[in-house]
């Protein structure tokens, strides 16, 4: 038996990379660091691509304060930034409990390690839930907009503040039946229909002189989106193609489609890292409970997953800056 397994099962040791410790770092820790370097480069690639695209559309990129405005239990209150700031705190705090777990591991305090690991896992789960809620708001949208034939997004404002379609659109009598496989071409169907038709929106705009149209174009002297005059707005609406509510990969009510694409891709990829981090933390948590590291004589494994967990926090710090602040 002893000849067929590489690990000596007699004295309960695990493979340790051959026992060499270049730079005084164990095999596992060093490889975790090198993995983190490569993963950091992947995220940098995404964020740099986001930067390139943003520079490409620097005069029409959506303004974060106008997109992310929700806070739990504050309906209709314009609360930009607070929610992502809260998410940042949750993640930093779970980083703190993680580093406390590592610290307790150095002192071989099994119970303390287990508790801090549990807090870390809970923090990670809360963050994931928050991100799901953020996505829900982003996908559902809160205002609605009109897209023109050349892809521009027209939003509606009243007294300088954006208003929802439901705030001013009067429903007409027309009814458009959703095209499903059962009632039209058998091999085609369409997505959910928006609440209002283009005609309803255009007519309501014409009938309500207090409603103005805001375009994506940014006035560089004030860094605000341009608001059109009534006549100009009517000319824009001549090119109206469809009503947009919320966001998907093709179109969104906030502006350029690629903005939503990057949002989904980068926060999604980060969220996936958090998710896998939580899973790994859970595995390590149970190992701690089972006394695996107690028997091994050191808690280095907690330190290694800790590195990954901190890295996830580190990435979020950058996502927070470049998606919500800058």
Partner 1 sequence: MAHAHESNTKRIWMVFGILSIITIVEVVFGIIKPEVLHLTSFLGTSPLNWIFIILTLAKAYGITWAFMHMEGEKKWFRRAVVWTAVFLIIYLVTLLLIEGGYLFDVMSPLTKWNY
Within 202-241, which residues bind partner 1 (CB under 8 A)?
Answer: 215, 217, 221-223, 232, 235-236, 238-239
When asked if residue 80 is in the footprint of partner 1 (CB under 8 A), the reply is yes
Tell the smallest beta-carbon distance from residue 122 to partner 1 (Å).
17
Q: Which residues contact 301 (CB under 8 A, 6 or more apart)?
A: 28, 284, 287, 292, 293
Tell me: does residue 34 bind partner 1 (CB under 8 A): yes
Alpha-carbon gap, residue 104 to 99, rounded angstroms: 9
Report the residue from 7, 31, 37, 77 that binds partner 1 according to the rule CB under 8 A.
37
Closest to 299 in 3D by CA, of 116, 104, 24, 7: 104
Our CB check for partner 1 shows the closer of 80 and 193 to be: 80
Q: Which of residues 55-74 bind partner 1 (CB under 8 A)?
A: 55-60, 65
- Of residues 267 through 326, those in contact with partner 1 by CB under 8 A are 297-298, 300, 303, 306-307, 310-311, 313-314, 317-318, 320-321, 324-326
Q: How many residues does the chain have?
A: 326
Least distance to partner 1 from the beta carbon of 94, Å? 11
Tell me if 253 sits within 8 A of 144, measured CB to CB: yes
Of 37 and 290, which CB lies nearer to partner 1 in the complex structure?
37
Interacting residues with partner 1 between 100 and 159 (CB under 8 A):
100, 102-103, 106-108, 150
* Residue 54 or 179 with smaller CB distance to partner 1: 54
Check residue 27 for interaction with partner 1 (CB under 8 A).
Answer: no
Among positions 17, 27, 33, 139, the unique one binding partner 1 when judged by CB under 8 A: 33
User: Of residues 54, 110, 179, 241, which one binds partner 1 by CB under 8 A?
Assistant: 54
Q: Which residue has the tokens 């964020």?
A: 47
Give the closest residue to 155 by CA, choosing from 265, 236, 260: 236
CA-nearest of 306, 299, 317 to 280 is 306
Q: Is 96 in the site for partner 1 (CB under 8 A)?
A: yes
**Shorter beta-carbon distance to partner 1: residue 150 or 188:** 150
């Amino acid at each position: 038996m002893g000849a067929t397994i590489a690990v000596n099962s007699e004295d309960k040791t695990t493979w340790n990379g051959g026992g060499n410790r270049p730079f005084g770092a164990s095999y596992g820790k060093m490889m975790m660091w090198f993995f983190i370097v490569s993963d950091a480069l992947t995220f940098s690639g995404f964020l740099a691509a986001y930067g390139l695209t943003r520079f490409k559309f620097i005069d029409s990129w959506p303004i974060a304060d106008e997109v992310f405005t929700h806070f739990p239990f504050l309906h209709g209150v314009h609360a930009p930034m607070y929610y992502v700031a809260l998410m940042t705190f949750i993640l930093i705090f779970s980083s703190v409990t993680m580093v406390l777990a590592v610290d307790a591991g150095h002192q071989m305090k099994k119970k303390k390690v287990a508790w801090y690991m549990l807090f870390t896992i809970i923090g990670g789960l809360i963050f994931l839930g928050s991100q799901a809620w953020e996505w829900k708001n982003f996908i559902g949208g809160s205002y609605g907009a009109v897209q023109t034939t050349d892809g521009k997004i027209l939003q509606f404002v009243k007294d300088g503040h954006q208003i929802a379609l439901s705030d001013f659109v009067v429903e007409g009598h027309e009814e458009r039946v959703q095209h499903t496989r059962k009632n039209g071409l058998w091999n085609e169907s369409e997505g959910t229909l928006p609440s209002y038709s283009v005609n309803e929106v255009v007519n309501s705009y014409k009938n309500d002189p207090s409603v103005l149209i805001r375009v994506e174009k940014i006035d560089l002297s004030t860094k605000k989106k341009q608001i059109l005059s009534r006549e100009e707005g009517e000319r824009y609406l001549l090119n109206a193609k469809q009503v947009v509510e919320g966001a998907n990969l093709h179109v969104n009510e906030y502006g350029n489609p690629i903005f939503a694409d990057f949002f989904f891709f980068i926060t999604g990829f980060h969220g996936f890292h958090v998710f896998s981090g939580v899973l790994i933390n859970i595995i390590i948590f149970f190992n701690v409970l089972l006394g695996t590291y107690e028997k091994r004589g050191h808690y280095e494994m907690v330190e290694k997953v800790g590195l990954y967990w901190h890295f996830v926090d580190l990435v979020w710090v950058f996502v927070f800056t470049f998606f919500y602040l800058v």
